[in-house]
Amino acid sequence: MNAAAWPTTLSRRLPWRRRPIAAAVRTLASWSAVTRLQTRGHLMWPAQQITEARRVAQGALDDPDRSPATVADTLDITLPPQVREAGPGAEQLALALRHARRDAGQLATAAPRIARRTLRRLAADLAEAEATFDRVCNDVRGADLRTADLTHLYLGGLRWDAATQWPDAWRDRIRADSDTVDGIHQIRDH
C-alpha cells in the first residue's frame, strides 16, 4: 500500500462507526442477572481497564502532543477465562478489543485529522462501554437472584430495588448492609 492511500484506507477500515466495544458489552448485559453476579469479580477487571483506556484516549484528544501509542497499550486487555466461558459476547468483546488495539497502534502513521476523528470515535465507544459495564457489574434491580449462591461473592456496590428477589437466607443481611437513596438500595462496601 502506498503512503498516499494509507489514511483513506485506514479511515474506511476503522470500526468505530458502530461502536463495537460497546456493542459487545451490551451483549454481556443480556446475560442473566445470576450469571452477571457470579462472574462479577471477573467482569470488574476488564471494566476497570476499559475505564483506563477511555481516560487515555480522551487524554490523547485533549493533549495533541501526547503519543497515541499509549492508547494501543491500554487496549491490551485479556478477558479472564471465567468471562469467556460465561456466555455470548465475551469473544465479541475480545475481538473488538484486539481490533481496536491494532488500529490504535496505527494512529501514529495516520493523517492528524483522521487520527483525531478515530480517537474521538474510540473514546465515545469506550465511554459507552464503560457506562454499560457499570450496569453489567453493579445493577441487579428487579432481578430474581433466589437461585444464586452468594456465599463467596463480593456484593459491595450492588444496586437493587424492592423488586429484586434475594435468596431467603440472604434477604435480611442484604437489607441491613444497604443504604437507600430515592428507592434504590446500594450494598455498602466492607
Query: Taking Cα atoms as reference points, which of 13, 9, 40 lies closest to residue 140?
Result: 40
Residue-wise pLDDT tens digits, 132-155: 999 999 999 999 999 999 999 999
Task: Tell me how far apart the terminal alpha carbons of the chain are, to the nearest angstrom.
Answer: 56
Contacts of 173 (CB under 8 A, 6+ apart): none
Region at 157 (left for phi over 0; alpha for psi -120 to 50; beta for the rest): left
- How large is the average pLDDT for residues 16-35? 89
Instruction: Provide the 3-class DSSP secondary structure of residue 44.
Output: helix
Q: What is the rounded CA–CA span in Å between residue 143 and residue 154?
A: 17
Tell me the pLDDT band of 2, cut-offs 50, 70 and 90.
very low
pTM: 0.85
CA pair distance 190, 187, nearest whole angstrom = 9
The predicted-structure confidence for 102-118, as pLDDT tens digits, reads as follows 989 988 888 888 888 98
